[in-house]
Amino acid sequence: MEKTFWPNNKRLALSLVVNVEEGSELSVAEGDRGPEPVDELGIVLKKPIRNYGNESNYQYGIKRGAPRILSLLDEYKLRATFTAAALSLERYPQLAEQIISGGHEVCSHGWRWVHQFHMNEDQEREFIDKAIDSITKTTGQRPYGWLSRYLLTPNTRRLLVEEGFLYHMDDYSDDKPFWDFVDSKAILIIPYAVDSNDMKMWTDPAYTPEQWYEYAKDTFDQLYLESCNSPRMMSLGIHLRIIGRPGRFIWFKRFIEYIKEFDDVWICTRKEIVEHWSRKNPASENL
């Protein structure tokens, strides 16, 4: 028997996750070995030269994508979790200010949007500490959650616990939160989802915005159905430079309009999930 329920007896929790990576991606201008390989055109340059075209595509996320997304969230009075690379917020303080003034949460997406799997323990600890210090300085609030650039190390979760993080998103194994323990210290795992992520519209050019919308809607409908008997949460990850494009954004707006028809869905930040889950399901290694 489940021991939790969402606030005000809401049936389903929906976590909107907005990834902020622009300005933190790989670049030879930053001293990296090569340019950022995640490119909508799928161009992987093996020479250490700048990919100015792809850099401008990332800039679109800041110039046009962010304003569209923030405006839509404000219009519908929704709060989201912005998983932000710390350097991105440093470089675009106006965006950081708009995120905080809109009542949104900032979760750490690393110091930069780079892989940490190759880091030793000391390097990774420094990487995490730099992200904490930077986001705290930029936003006035320290981050309590962490999302890696997909790959992490055996030390990651332990280091997060040691640094006072409340939740970790590098998990895809469930449709509800659950506790994990490192040296008998608890951290809440709030699973992320890649199947409904808008990144698929970059990695698979044949995957259309309408298909993404239909998949997200079907995911919502199935979880809503299951939530009649057991708590469920839906995680929807989007990116400024991807969903922020006009032809994609309109489908994101349609998804928001669809879910707003349900008055028993809790659209919340990840930190709000931690706070509620901790009250209703206190951490126990016996659960």
| pLDDT of the residue at 3 | 43
pTM of the model: 0.95
| pLDDT of the residue at 286 | 53
- Calculate mean pLDDT across residues 173-197: 96
* Cβ count near 74 (within 10 Å): 13
- What residues contact residue 77 under an 8 Å CB cut-off, 6+ apart? none
For the stretch 249-279, pLDDT in tens is: 999 999 999 999 999 999 999 999 999 999 9
| pLDDT of the residue at 9 | 87
| pLDDT of the residue at 205 | 83
- Calculate mean pLDDT across residues 25-38: 93
Topology classification of domain 7-280: TIM Barrel (3.20.20)
Contact (Cβ atoms closer than 8 angstroms) between residue 209 and residue 247: yes
CA distance 119 to 94: 31
Integer-rounded Cα Rg, in Å, for the chain is 19
| pLDDT of the residue at 135 | 98
The residue ranges of every structural domain in the chain are: 7-280
Judged against a pLDDT cut of 50, whether residue 1 lies above it is answered with no
